[in-house]
Amino acid sequence: MFRISAIIRKISILLFLLTVLVFLTFVIGNFQEFLDSTQLVLLNIFEILAGIFILLGMYHIIITVMLMIRYKSHYFIRLGITLAGEIIVIFLFLLANIITTITKTVI
């Protein structure tokens, strides 16, 4: 059980960093005047990565809670970091969906 938790935790960290990196590339692309098609591709990549992270993050939260209950361990910091990452990515995901919707109605 600990190995699965460690693997999911590492994949979650990687996906979180990738989603933040793609979103920052999108934001920098606004200032660097990337093409609209490039911006839409970045938003689509972000939405896919964010969706995968949200699902995997929920799975990681469930496993962490199960470990806390079963082994009476104190993984509160790990749980808090995962919840904070989930909240950040969900907010950015909603923001990306709003931007995509506005962009597709204007074009």
- Gyration radius of the chain over CA positions: 16
pLDDT in tens, 75-99: 788 889 989 999 999 999 999 999 8
Q: Quote the domain boundaries for residue 60.
A: 2-106
- pTM for the full predicted model: 0.84
Classify each residue of 47-80 as buried b or exposed e, where b means 16 or more C-beta atoms within 10 Å of its C-beta: bebbeebbebbeebbebbeebeeeeeeebeebbe
Which residues have CB under 8 Å from 93's CB, separation 6+?
Answer: 46, 47, 50, 51, 54
The pLDDT tens digits for 17-60 are 999 999 999 999 989 988 888 888 999 999 999 999 999 999 99
Measured CA to CA, the distance from residue 88 to residue 95 in angstroms comes to: 11
Number of domains composing the chain:
1
